Amino acid sequence: MSDKNFIILNDPGKPKMTHQLIIAGNWKMNLLRDGSRKLISDLQKGYTFGSAMKVILIPPATLLGSIADQIRNSPFFLGAQNCHEERFGAFTGEVSAEMLADLGCTYVVLGHSERRTLFGETNNQIRARASSALDFGLTAIICVGESIEQRQAGLAMDTVSKQLEECVGSEANSNNCIIAYEPIWAIGTGKTAELQDIEEMHRHIRNVLIAKSATGNDIPILYGGSVKAENASNIFAVPQVGGALVGGASLNSQDFLEIIKAGQRND
């Protein structure tokens, strides 16, 4: 087993704790029931990786119930793309963490850059949502990442530090929290961040998490932003990268299976 992907380091060379590589497929607002059934059935047929990897499917809310049934007794986990911070009430159009848990979800993505930029979600809201997710036993996949303007101005690290400071509570640990680093300019653009930049930012995130939480060393950090079959194994080999949050390529079973397989090659 390579120490690059699976071992979170206390300091270089000192294995602290092992993790499965996590591959999460964010379908965003795509697919209807027929397409979803077929995609999952193709993934189930092609999945030969046992428990070496943790694969999380993150479909739109309309498909969560039927997918929960379809993936019962399979190696896949179910996640939602967002939740509201309140448990119930007059919040038309919203879905609570408790409702997601009731459907069989065990993960929820929070603070995706599309939620932040298109729907105005704030760090405070994301933190409140993560806290509600925790209350109902969901693991929050908290997304952070800088814009191209912030990177060009040398503000990438500060931006991500602030997001982590304000979105991640001290209660975060490896059982209830995953961080996804997604530079906004790499999402859906085909432009992946340079491996060196990914490494630098993942190390930075690790340091912030260690300073923040007693178990900060164990919280998985995923990379997201134009992850594809062709670049996945290089990304998975970057120190501190604990997996990937995959958008576009998760909608095609062959591409998604290739990404999963790339994770296994480093095993």
Catalytic residues: 112, 182
Supply angle C-alpha 77, 2, 54, rounded to 5: 0
- C-beta of 93: minimal distance to ligand PGA in Å? 21
- Nearer CB in complex with ligand PGA: 59/247: 247
Residue from 7, 245, 259, 260 binding ligand PGA (CB under 6 A):
245
Q: In terms of residues, how long is the chain?
A: 267
Q: How far is the CB of 117 from ligand PGA (least distance, A)?
A: 12
Kindly state whether residue 232 participates in binding ligand PGA, applying the rule CB under 6 A.
Answer: no
At 186, the amino acid letter reads A
Please report how close the Cβ of residue 10 comes to ligand PGA at its closest, in angstroms. Answer: 29
Residue closest to 181 by CA, chosen among 137, 216, 223: 223
| Amino acid residing at 250 | S
Span of 33-41, 144-152, 164-172, 246-254 interacting with ligand PGA by CB under 6 A = 246-254
Compute the least distance from the CB of residue 58 to ligand PGA, in Å.
9
Q: Which is nearer to ligand PGA, 24 or 100 (CB)?
A: 24
Exactly one of 111, 220, 243, 247 binds ligand PGA (CB under 6 A); that residue is: 247
CB of 111 to ligand PGA, least distance (A): 11
DSSP string, the chain: --HHHHEEESSTT-EEEE--EEEEEE--S---HHHHHHHHHHHHHH---TTSEEEEEE--GGGHHHHHHHTTTSSEEEEES--BSSSSSS-TT--BHHHHHHHT--EEEE--HHHHHHH---HHHHHHHHHHHHHTTPEEEEEE---HHHHHTT-HHHHHHHHHHHH--TT--TTTEEEEE--GGGTTTS-PPPHHHHHHHHHHHHHHHHHH-TTTTTS-EEEESS--HHHHHHHHTSTT--EEEESGGGGSHHHHHHHHHHHHHT-
Q: Torsion angle of alpha carbons 51, 226, 223, 128, nearest 10°? A: -100
Compute the distance between CA of residue 143 and CA of residue 60 in angstroms, rounded to an integer: 17
Q: Is there binding between residue 226 and ligand PGA (CB under 6 A)?
A: yes
The site string for ligand PGA over 205-224 (x = CB under 6 A, - otherwise) reads -------------------x
Tell me the site size for ligand PGA, rule CB under 6 A: 13
Residues 179-198 that bind ligand PGA (CB under 6 A): 182, 187-188
35 contacts ligand PGA (rule: CB under 6 A): no
Q: Does 248 sit near ligand PGA (CB under 6 A)? A: yes
* Stretch near ligand PGA under the rule CB under 6 A, chosen from 11-19, 126-134, 165-173, 245-253: 245-253
Q: Does 246 bind ligand PGA (CB under 6 A)?
A: yes
Which x/- pattern, by CB under 6 A, does the window 146-185 give for ligand PGA? ------------------------------------x---
Residues that bind ligand PGA (CB under 6 A): 26, 182, 187-188, 224-227, 245-249
